[in-house]
Amino acid sequence: MKMLINVPETVVADALRGMAAAHPELTVDVENRVIVRRDAPVAGQVALLSGGGSGHEPLHGGFVGPGMLSAACPGEVFTSPVPDQMARAAAAVDSGAGVLFIVKNYTGDVLNFDMAAELAEDEGIQVGKVLVNDDVAVTDSLYTAGRRGTGATLFVEKIAGAAAAEGRPLERVEAIGRQVNENSRSFGVALSACTTPAKGTPTFDLPAGELELGIGIHGEPGRERRPMMTSGEIAEFAVDAVLEDMPPRNPVLVLVNGMGATPLLELYGFNAEVQRVLAERGVTVARTLVGNYVTSLDMAGASITLCQVDEELLRLWDAPVKTPALRWGM
């Protein structure tokens, strides 16, 4: 497999050096692998901290900035960051108002963030936590106990980030983040497997003419494998899987997310089918976001995430944000 890298051992460090050069509004500590908004800590504001394995870009580093995350900690590819990273980041962004950890439900992430919280609290930092577990495809996987955290991570980070920017206390920002997670469900589909730099070959075998329904973001196999389907058929399967688990009572935010190798031409076409199915099911759409936001290296495919919103959550979603990957209103 051809890759635009030097050697697998330096791929994360090289990416961080490039990110630092492209985004002077961020402080990127390449050695310690911590990405911080340059104006942190922001007086009187709760800080938001997240992280996870590299390979899901722009998640999480691309979401650091005003209105979203205060800091992010990238691990090795598909590997959790270590507790010292998160504790160092928490100390860098805490203004005295506390730090909210946003954690995708993968075993390594959960364990390491819990240890980081203990380290931070030992230093007098107040810590809250939101566990993201929105995936409806499988209950347990190779990497999780319980549901995986996927596309809803973006909704949690954006909406909780807006609440923090308004000066809400830690308990309230945490409650809002948990509400967003509880109101969100996701389902993903792979048309091809991804290839990690260290392995150099696909993470699983997906024959030509077949697709994997219900995949995760680490190349995990999904719910079932079927012959290739049309965009409309995939949209019906994925939307129905989400709605079976969460019949919406309110309007929804829609994320049509590319897995890394699917062009916008296909994603916008897929979004047209998702919107059609939602309309046929009587679901009101408040806002839609289309693009590559929570990826799996070079995997071809897409995921959909629906998040039920009331007036407050919608207002916080619309609030200004300025990060490398998500920005409006500023």
CA nearest neighbour of 93 among 43, 137, 53: 43
Which residues fall within 8 angstroms of residue 208, CB to CB, at 6 or more apart?
none
Q: Which of 60, 148, 185, 218 is catalytic?
A: 218
Q: How far is CA 86 from CA 18, 39, 93, 224, 273, in A?
A: 21, 18, 11, 36, 40
- Output the six-digit token pair for 199: 């392995």
60 is catalytic: no
Single out the residue of 83, 87, 80, 89 nearest to residue 29, CA to CA.
89
> Cβ distance 27 to 38 under 8 Å?
yes
**Catalytic option among 23, 33, 37, 56:** 56
- Cβ 281 vs Cβ 243: under 8 Å: yes
Neighbours of 222 (CB within 10 A): 21
Residue 57's CB is within 10 A of a number of other CB atoms, namely: 19
Active-site residue flag, 218: yes
How far, CA to CA in Å, does 132 sit from each of 105, 128, 149, 316? 6, 13, 5, 18
Whole-number Å distance between alpha carbons of 78 and 84: 18
Catalytic residues: 56, 218
